[in-house]
């Protein structure tokens, strides 16, 4: 919900408020994850599908707006978003292959049909943390006047390497990262 508003604030160069809202969004995401892990009754199929999608939407909005504000290079944003589009496409493909026949839009988008579960790789978890750390560092850069610093530029390269490694890990490990819960009957 905050993603478009946060993107607008970044484009308008309200970096103090953007940084504060990003920290708030991160805290509520951590709290949501903690609640889902601690109290199993608070975990749902819909929530487990929407949470990673919401994270991808937030990261995409943030990277695009930070690129517009010239705080993150366009090539890095392209890499991050391309990897996420590839992952979403793979999830849609697995979903299509595992939804019971005949595949209809109502079955395909019905969260009650939990047919597969994606297990994030270690590279993916590390990459997400580094991507979010780069967002925080980039939002803080104009606030604390270090936009041209070498450590920030090094973080761009680290983020690019972990993003590529994460994408490769999903491609390489493929079937090991997906647990099919229901299969189609022949």
Q: HEC states along 128-170?
A: HHHHHHHHHHHHHHHHCCCCCCHHHHHHHHHHHHHHHHHHHHH
Ranges of beta strands (E only) in 109-173 are 116-118
> Quick one: pLDDT at residue 99?
84
User: Confidence class of residue 184 from pLDDT cuts 50, 70 and 90?
Assistant: low
CA distances from 74 to 15, 80, 82 (A): 19, 10, 12
**Mean pLDDT of the region 148-157:** 97
Measured between alpha carbons, how far is 116 from 97 in angstroms, rounded to an integer? Answer: 10
> Quick one: pLDDT at residue 46?
65
Would you call 87 helix, strand, or coil by DSSP? helix
> Quick one: pLDDT at residue 45?
62
Q: Is the pLDDT of residue 15 over 90?
A: yes
Give domain status of residue 37, yes or no.
Answer: yes
Polymer length of the chain: 186
Give domain status of residue 162, yes or no.
Answer: yes
Give domain status of residue 185, yes or no.
Answer: no
> Quick one: pLDDT at residue 111?
73
Q: Is the pLDDT of residue 102 over 80?
A: yes
Note the pLDDT tens digit of each residue in 30-88: 888 788 778 877 766 666 667 778 888 999 999 999 999 999 999 999 999 999 999 88
Would you call 16 helix, strand, or coil by DSSP? helix
Query: Which range, 20-29, 34-43, 171-180, is most confident?
Result: 20-29
Neighbours of 153 (CB within 10 A): 11
> Quick one: pLDDT at residue 175?
67
Measured between alpha carbons, how far is 77 from 113 in angstroms, rounded to an integer? Answer: 33
For 63, the domain range is 1-180
Give domain status of residue 101, yes or no.
Answer: yes
- pLDDT more than 90, % of the chain: 47
Measured between alpha carbons, how far is 31 from 43 in angstroms, rounded to an integer? Answer: 13
Give domain status of residue 47, yes or no.
Answer: yes
Domain total of the chain: 1
pTM for this entry: 0.87
Give domain status of residue 27, yes or no.
Answer: yes
DSSP structure class, residue 1? -
Give domain status of residue 186, yes or no.
Answer: no
Decide: 125 and 131 in contact? Cβ < 8 Å.
no
Give domain status of residue 130, yes or no.
Answer: yes
> Quick one: pLDDT at residue 92?
86
């Amino acid at each position: 919900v905050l993603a478009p508003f946060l993107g607008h604030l970044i484009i308008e160069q309200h970096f103090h408020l953007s940084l504060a809202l990003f920290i708030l969004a991160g805290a509520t995401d951590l709290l949501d994850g903690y609640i889902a892990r601690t109290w199993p009754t608070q975990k749902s199929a819909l929530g487990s599908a929407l949470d990673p999608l919401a994270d991808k939407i937030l990261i995409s909005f943030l990277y695009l707006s930070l690129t517009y504000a010239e705080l993150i290079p366009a090539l890095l944003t392209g890499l991050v978003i391309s990897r996420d589009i590839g992952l979403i496409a793979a999830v849609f493909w697995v979903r299509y292959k595992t939804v019971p026949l005949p595949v209809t839009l109502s079955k395909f988008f019905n969260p009650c049909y939990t047919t597969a579960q994606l297990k994030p790789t270690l590279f993916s978890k590390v990459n997400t943390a580094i991507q979010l750390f780069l967002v925080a560092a980039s939002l803080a850069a104009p606030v604390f006047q270090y936009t041209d610093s070498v450590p920030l530029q090094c973080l761009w390269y680290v983020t690019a390497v972990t993003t590529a490694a994460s994408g490769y890990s999903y491609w390489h490990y493929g079937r090991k990262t997906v647990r099919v819960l229901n299969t189609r009957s022949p």
